[in-house]
Amino acid sequence: MTSSHRGARRVVVTWPNFDLGTGSAGASLVAAGLQVVLEPKTGLRTPEEVIAIMDGAQAAIVSTDPFTERVLHALPDLRVLARVGVGTDSIDLKAATSCGVLVTTTPDANYRMVADHVLAMMLALVRRLPENDASIRAGNWDRAGSLTPRDLGTMTVGLLGFGRIGRAVAARLAPFGPRLLASDPQGVPADAGAQGVDLETLARCSDILSVHVPLTEHTRGIVSASFIERLPPGAVLINASRGGIVDEAALAAALERGHLAGAGLDVFEQEPPTGSRLLGLPQVILSPHIGGLSHESIAEMTRQAAQSVLIALQGREPVGAVNPEAMASWTDPPVHPVAVEGNG
């Protein structure tokens, strides 16, 4: 680490509505003598914009800003990227490691919220609440007609991905009694409450498909046009994982021609999804990537992210470090030796 890093005490925060009040995560950074600069991400942000707002920063607490290889190489002072959440698909981890930038996440802070959000979308779609709401507002009273709901307990729910969130969704669904299928590269334990199947079976049998895999080179576009076509007629698709996993053009086409009955989307290929055909479809529920958010989960995630910054700037490895090997290039003494209790 060069001497220029020692004098840098700037932490840029792109997480929106970051709290700097007394007792907050932000207050802990200020109390440690760090300069906190708020640059909330509220829409699309280009790599050039990221370079401009991060210039001279030693640490950052970030949302889904694009930290590409070019961005990371343009920020020689940067040492810590604390991601609020668990997704790192917007960060080039290989480039971060080679540039000596430690990336951290906030594990276990919000997976229950995502599972709750998925269940809420699932029930709303099965019960056709958005369409019935719109119908009443239009002056109709359509009982036992074209907007009649289905019974969740008679349906088959397919979980694409059976990690922490997928298992939490399965646990919430169990009392409703649907048949539960799951497909995961790591396998599905026999006592997990869901039957492990391959992708072909998952597609053919899922009246409701819920996506719970991270966005990687292997999962990008995995819910393709052909996958969607294999879903049963009248199926429902929910994605609260990452945009890019589902082919949104194929999804829109399947909804428009009636092959799928509905969709619930918390994430999109482009966020916000300006101009998407999905915006005009009444059988689609949309939310602004808030599946993992609640007042409580935000407080915990930002607390963990702030602690990760403080601990890492002492030269120690925080809980949630994704690429701790990046710290091997930190040859100078700790750059900001503040007193921090615990380990994030």
Give residue-wise pLDDT tens across range 244-296.
999 999 999 999 999 999 999 999 999 999 999 999 999 999 999 999 999 99
Check whether residue 151 and residue 128 sit in a common domain: yes
- pLDDT value of residue 317: 97
**pLDDT tens track for 76-89:** 999 999 999 999 99
> How distant, in Å, are the alpha carbons of 67, 184, 247, 302 from that of 44?
13, 31, 20, 21
Question: Of 49, 69, 271, 300, which is the active-site residue?
Answer: 271
**Residue 182 falls inside a structural domain:** yes
CATH number at residue 132: 3.40.50.720
From CA 59, how far away is CA 36, in angstroms rounded?
10
- Same-domain status, 86 and 183: no
Residue 190 is predicted with a pLDDT of 86
Let me know if residue 344 belongs to a domain. no
Cβ contact 81:104 at 8 Å: yes
Regarding whether 101 and 115 lie in a shared domain, the answer is no
Domain that holds residue 61: 3-109+294-329
Residue for token pair 């998407």 = 276
Alpha-carbon span 84 to 295, nearest angstrom: 14
Which of 286, 312, 339 is a domain's end point?
286
Give me the chain's average pLDDT, please: 93
Distance from C-alpha of 168 to C-alpha of 309, rounded to nearest angstrom? 29
- Note whether 204 and 72 are same-domain residues: no
Same domain, 67 and 147: no
Using the 3D structure, point to which of 263, 286, 309 is the last residue of a domain.
Answer: 286
Residue 140, domain member (yes or no): yes
Full-model pTM: 0.90
- Shared domain for 105 and 160, answered yes or no, is no
- Same domain for 73 and 196, yes or no, is no
Catalytic residue list contains 242: yes
Give domain status of residue 242, yes or no.
yes
Domain assignment present for 339: no
Order the strands of the 156-160 sheet from edge to edge: 195-196, 179-183, 156-160, 208-211, 235-239, 260-265, 284-286
Catalytic residue from among 242, 248, 303, 336 = 242
pLDDT at 3: 32
Domain count, the chain: 2
My answer on whether 99 and 175 are in the same domain is no
Annotated active-site residue in 79, 117, 289, 336: 289
Ranges of residues in the chain whose predicted pLDDT is under 50 = 1-8, 333-344
Q: What is the dihedral of CA 40, 221, 130, 283, to 10 degrees?
A: 140
Domain match, 157 and 243 both:
yes
Task: Please give the pLDDT value at position 9.
Answer: 83
271 in active site: yes
pLDDT for residue 1 = 35
Would residue 309 count as lying in a domain? yes
Instruction: Specify if 338 maps to a domain.
Output: no
**Is residue 239 in some structural domain?**
yes
User: In terms of domains, do 279 and 301 share one?
Assistant: no
Active site residue 212: no
Does 135 share its domain with 105?
Answer: no
User: What are the pLDDT digits (tens) for 285-313?
Assistant: 999 999 999 999 999 999 999 999 999 99
Do 117 and 38 belong to one domain? Answer: no
- pLDDT value of position 332: 60
CA quadruple 276, 280, 284, 285: dihedral sign: positive
Locate tokens 């409701």: which residue? 208
